[in-house]
Amino acid sequence: MKTKKNIHLHKKRSGVFNRFTAFIFIVMAVFALLLSTLFGMLYDSAHDNIIQIQLNEVQATSSDIDFYLDTAVNALSFSKKNIEQLHKNGADSARLYESISIMTNTFESSMDDDLADIYGLMYGDFLNGHGWVPDEGYEPTERGWYTAARARPGRIVSVPPYIDAESGQACVTLSETLEGDTDSVIAFDISAAKLQSIVDEAASDEAVVSAKIIDKSKRVVIVSNNRDEMMQDHRDDKRVAAAITNHDTSYTNVKDNGRDYIVFIMPLSIGWDYVCIYDSSELLSSLRSLYFFSAAGVILFISIMLLVLNQMRNSQDRMNRLIDLSQTDALTGILNRGSGEAKIGEMLEKRMKCTFLMLDVDRFKSINDTYGHDTGDKVIIAVAEMLSECAKPNDVVMRLGGDEFVIVLGGVADRSYAEDIINKLFSLVDNATIPGAEELKLSISMGAAFYDGVGRADFAKLYQTADEKIYISKATEGNKVTF
C-alpha cells in the first residue's frame, strides 16, 4: 500500500526523471544541430582540401609541359637572332647551315630530345640542321610551319602535331618569320612523344577521365585517351567547352550525360591550355562517408568525430606531403622550378636588387651516355650541393630541370660580388669528385643577368637574358660565365 509520502516521492522522482529525460533530449537535439553544423564544415573543408590537392597536381603537370615548351621557345628565339646576325654580317648559305647544324646538336643534347631540329626557308634557301635533304617536290612554302608563320609575321606560332617528313616521328613545331624578310621562316621541331608522356602520366590517376592539351585554334593536340579525338575542336567535348566559358574559378563543376565532372584548365606559355577532367564521384569518394555519419545519433558522435578527424588529418597530411613535393626537387632537395620561380617573383615584386645566375653542366648528355644515368644523377646532386654551399640566407637556389640550375643572389646587383660567388662555385666544381667516376672532370657554363631594383622586372626576362649568355659561355672550354 502506497503512503502519501511514497506517492509524493514517486512523483518527485518521476518529475526528476522526466526533467532529466527532457534535458537529454535537449542535449541530443543540440548535439544533433552541432553535429550537422560540424559535419557541414568538415565536408566543406575536406572538399576544399581535395580540390586543392588536385589543383596542385594539375599545376605541377602544366609546369612540366611549360618547361619543355619554354625550352623550345628559347631555343627558337636564340637561333633566330643568331641567323639574323650572321645574315647582317654577310654570311652565305653554307655559313648559315653550319650555324644551325651546331645549334641543332646543342639543343638535342641539352633537351635530351633526338628530334630537336632547326630548319627553315632562310633567305631563299631551305636549310636543315640535321642535313636532311627533302624529296623532289617538297615545297617549303606549302608546309604548315611556313604558312602559319607567314600569316602572323614577327610572332612565334605553333603547329599542331604531325608526322615529320625527315624522322617519321610525331612532332610539334614552333616557327617565326625572320626580321626584315617575312618570306624567310625559321622553325624548330620538338617531340610530341615528350608531351604525350607527360599527359599520360597525369592521366594515370584513377579519378582522371581525360587529360589533354588544346592549342590556340581550339583543337585537341595531345590527349591521354581516345586518340581519335586528336585535332578535333575542343567544343566537341561539352565538359571542356563549359569549363572554358567559366573564367572566374580555377576549376568548374560540369554535368554531362547524367554524370558529374570536375574540370581544371591551366593556361600554357605558348597560348595553349592544359585540361584535366576528373570523375567527380571518384575524386570525392572519400567524402561519401560523411553523409552516412552525419545522420548518426549521439551514441556514435564521438566515433564519427574520431573517424572524420582522422580522415581530415590524413587528407591534411597528404596535402602537406604534396605541397612539400610540389615545392622541392625530388632528386636534389632544393627548390624546384615552380616554387623557385615564385620566390624570385616575390623578390622582383618587392623590387629587391638581385643577380640572376643560370648554369648547366657541360657535356651532360655525354656523361649520361658514358657513365650511366646513376652517375648523371650524382652529378646533378653534387652541383645542387655546391650551389647551396655558395648561397646566403637571402639567396634562392633552384633546379630548372635536367642539368639546369639557377641561383639568385638577393639584395645585390654587383658584378664584383657576383664574381666572388662564381669563383667560389668554380673552385668547388674544379675540385668536385663524383663517386664511382673519380676521373670525371666537371665544368659548367653560366649566364648572368642583373636587376638594379629600378622599374619592373620579371622572371622570364631575366631567364631569357641569362639563357642567351649560357650559349656564349659554351663556346669556351671549362668553367665560364658571361655577363
- The secondary structure of 15-67 as a DSSP string is HHHHHHHHHHHHHHHHHHHHHHHHHHHHHHHHHHHHHHHHHHHHHHHHHHHHH
**Amino acid occupying residue 282:** E
Asked which of 23-27, 87-91, 202-206, 267-271 is least confident by mean pLDDT, the reply is 23-27
Q: What pLDDT score does 138 carry?
A: 87
Q: How many residues does the chain have?
A: 483
Confidence of residue 7 (pLDDT cuts 50, 70, 90): very low
* CATH fold label, 337-482: Alpha-Beta Plaits (3.30.70)
Q: In what order do the strands lie in the sheet with 444-451?
A: 396-401, 404-410, 354-361, 444-451, 480-482
Top mean pLDDT of 203-207, 298-302, 368-372 is at: 368-372
Q: What pLDDT score does 170 carry?
A: 75
Q: What pLDDT score does 119 carry?
A: 92
Do 156 and 148 contact (CB within 8 A), yes or no? no
Mean pLDDT within 8-22: 57
C-alpha cell at 72: 623550345
Confidence of residue 467 (pLDDT cuts 50, 70, 90): very high
- Pairing of β 480-482 and β 444-451: parallel
Per the listing, cell 615545392 goes with 327
Quick check: 407 pLDDT over 70?
A: yes
Mean pLDDT within 287-307: 59
Q: What pLDDT score does 343 carry?
A: 94
Give the residue ranges of DSSP H helices in 112-250.
144-151, 192-202, 238-244
With a CB cutoff of 8 Å and minimum separation 6, the contacts of 231 are: 160, 219, 220, 221
Quick check: 379 pLDDT over 50?
A: yes
Quick check: 108 pLDDT over 70?
A: yes
Assign 84 to helix, strand or coil.
Answer: helix
What is the C-alpha separation between 453 and 451, in angstroms, rounded?
Answer: 6
The more confidently predicted of residues 195 and 397 is 397
Nearest C-alpha neighbor of 298 from the set 17, 20, 16, 36: 36
Quick check: 431 pLDDT over 90?
A: yes
Mean pLDDT computed over every residue of the chain: 82
What is the C-alpha separation between 149 and 140, in angstroms, rounded?
Answer: 12
Mean pLDDT within 50-71: 87
Quick check: 32 pLDDT over 60?
A: yes
Confidence of residue 4 (pLDDT cuts 50, 70, 90): very low
Q: What pLDDT score does 177 carry?
A: 95
Helix (H) or strand (E) holding 75: helix 4-88
DSSP per-residue codes, 93-152: HHHHHHHHHHHHHHHHHHHT-TT-EEEEEETTEEEETT---PPTT--GGGSHHHHHHHHS
Do 328 and 377 contact (CB within 8 A), yes or no? no
Q: What pLDDT score does 126 carry?
A: 93
Q: What percent of the chain has pLDDT over 90?
A: 42
Question: Which residues are 120's β-sheet partners?
Answer: 127, 186
Confidence of residue 252 (pLDDT cuts 50, 70, 90): confident
What is the C-alpha separation between 426 and 206, in angstroms, rounded?
Answer: 47
For the chain, report the end-to-end CA distance as a whole number of angstroms. 110
What is the C-alpha separation between 105 and 127, in angstroms, rounded?
Answer: 15
Asked which of 278-292, 337-351, 352-366, 444-458 is least confident by mean pLDDT, the reply is 278-292
Top mean pLDDT of 44-58, 227-241, 248-262, 367-381 is at: 367-381
CA distances from 206 to 81, 197, 211, 283, 330 (A): 45, 17, 12, 9, 23
Domain-wise residue ranges, the chain: 337-482
Q: What pLDDT score does 220 carry?
A: 80
How confident is the model over 164-176, as pLDDT tens digits?
A: 666 667 778 899 9
Quick check: 8 pLDDT over 60?
A: no
Asked which of 23-37, 148-162, 180-194, 255-269 is least confident by mean pLDDT, the reply is 23-37
Do 305 and 42 contact (CB within 8 A), yes or no? no
Angle at 344 between CA 339 and CA 346, to 5 degrees: 95
Asked which of 1-5, 16-20, 158-162, 195-199 is least confident by mean pLDDT, the reply is 1-5
Nearest C-alpha neighbor of 185 from the set 100, 67, 103: 100
What is the C-alpha separation between 455 and 467, in angstroms, rounded?
Answer: 22
The more confidently predicted of residues 161 and 155 is 155
